[in-house]
A and B are shown apart, each in its own frame.
Chain A
């Protein structure tokens, strides 16, 4: 290096070009997690939810609690349904009375409603899960099939993952003091059964499938609809694909 000036110039050009080239690197949150990991012969589970078909019956939330022994108190949900109401005054009201299990009552006067719809929520089974990254003891992990699971015998109940999940999908079991979450009904899908929420959905709004199988109905759903994921800017690699997701949904 001849002089300090030349060194600084070269360093600025190198740093700047890295920054600029990163801006041109394409990123698509829908494709990001679907095409991972590199071995395409493996099963790689994803979930599809068609908001256009959801009627807010809450049977998914009810079945999930029955199937997975989730406490019945309205603080513990592995999946739940929210009703979004966009009012004429541009404010948005989000309600989820007991997760939708007992049904929804219309709390906004019909003349004030601009648009209203139901959004079922559940674990996104992210490829780059914030919850897995923060676990200090390795008690939560991505299974080889892309399902985010909890090892409850190993969990120390520190609640880091509850804080980390941007989708609010984790809770602490009141009796055991360990974390609990959606397992995509791992005990069912490994036996060839549908997850409980998918099994009971009366309109077929929920589906799950193998993202590595081009013939899978889930892949057809993703390719035929303008699907989106929740909070794509967080780069979580969500594998929960929503059709007709309104931008007001958080």
Chain B
């Protein structure tokens, strides 16, 4: 073996050894378990806590209201569309309430006039013309909107 190779070999071995050592400490645990990423990250992403409880959780207590809602055109709606995220209310129903939006603007998010809203999918009204002096829920029960009452 030529002497220059003999002298370079230990140098190369030292560099490779140093690289492996540094790599050992820098590569995080579980990296490469499933692919080029930290395998534990899957569990960390899955462990985050939900804010929306889901319609089934609402119906556990409010089965009467769920049945009432199912009787009319809003039957496809999840409770939390209007009432907002409800996991805290579901867990601590005694102390934490839930949002009950009232204004005309809120109903208008779906029902205000817009040429992009297709007939047959949603009923739209001109908010600046349709009974402007009342809140929508004065006449329409949001859980059974087709049934009208005196404001």
- Quick one: which of A56, A66, A143, A204 contacts B51, CB cutoff 8 A? A66
Chain B nearest CB from A89 CB (Å) reads 16
Q: Considering the chains assembled together, what is the distance between the CA atoms of A142 and B34 in angstroms?
A: 10
Known: A190-B46, A202-B76, A203-B122. A138 touches B38 (CB 8 A): yes
Choose, from A17-25, A39-47, A148-156, A225-233, the stretch at the interface.
A148-156
Chain B nearest CB from A217 CB (Å) reads 14
Q: Which residues of B, 16-36, contact A by the 8 Å Cβ criterion?
A: 28, 31, 34-36
Q: A66 near B45 (CB under 8 angstroms)?
A: no
Q: B117 near A56 (CB under 8 angstroms)?
A: yes
Q: Considering the chains assembled together, what is the distance between the CA atoms of A204 and B74 in angstroms?
A: 12
Chain B nearest CB from A172 CB (Å) reads 18
Q: Is A237 close to B, CB under 8 A?
A: no
Q: B115 near A106 (CB under 8 angstroms)?
A: yes
Q: How many residues of B contact A (CB 8 A)?
A: 41
Choose, from B60-68, B89-97, B105-113, B129-137, the stretch at the interface.
B105-113
Q: A149 near B45 (CB under 8 angstroms)?
A: yes
- Interface centre among B49, B113, B117, by most A CB within 10 Å? B117
Q: B116 near A58 (CB under 8 angstroms)?
A: no
Q: Is A26 close to B, CB under 8 A?
A: no
Q: Is B147 close to A, CB under 8 A?
A: no
Interface flags for A168-206 (1: CB within 8 Å of B; 0: not) read 000000000000000101111011011010011111100
Q: Is A52 close to B, CB under 8 A?
A: yes
Q: Is A118 close to B, CB under 8 A?
A: yes
Q: Is A139 close to B, CB under 8 A?
A: yes
Chain B nearest CB from A131 CB (Å) reads 13
Q: B52 near A187 (CB under 8 angstroms)?
A: no
- Quick one: which of A66, A106, A143, A186 contacts B85, CB cutoff 8 A? A66
- Interface centre among A116, A139, A143, by most B CB within 10 Å? A143
Known: A55-B117, A59-B109, A66-B84. A186 touches B45 (CB 8 A): yes
Q: Is A129 close to B, CB under 8 A?
A: no
Point out the residues of chain A lying under 8 angstroms from B52, CB to CB: 63, 66-67, 188, 193, 196, 199-200
Known: A154-B38, A186-B46. A199 touches B117 (CB 8 A): no
Contact sample, A vs B, 29 pairs, CB 8 Å cutoff = A52-B118, A55-B110, A55-B116, A56-B117, A57-B110, A59-B81, A66-B84, A67-B51, A83-B116, A85-B116, A104-B116, A106-B113, A106-B115, A117-B116, A138-B36, A138-B37, A143-B45, A149-B42, A149-B45, A151-B38, A151-B41, A151-B45, A188-B50, A190-B46, A196-B51, A200-B52, A200-B80, A202-B76, A202-B81
> A183-B45, A186-B48, A202-B78 provided; 13 other pairs, C-beta below 8 A?
A52-B118, A55-B118, A58-B109, A63-B52, A106-B115, A143-B42, A151-B37, A154-B37, A187-B48, A191-B46, A193-B54, A202-B81, A204-B76
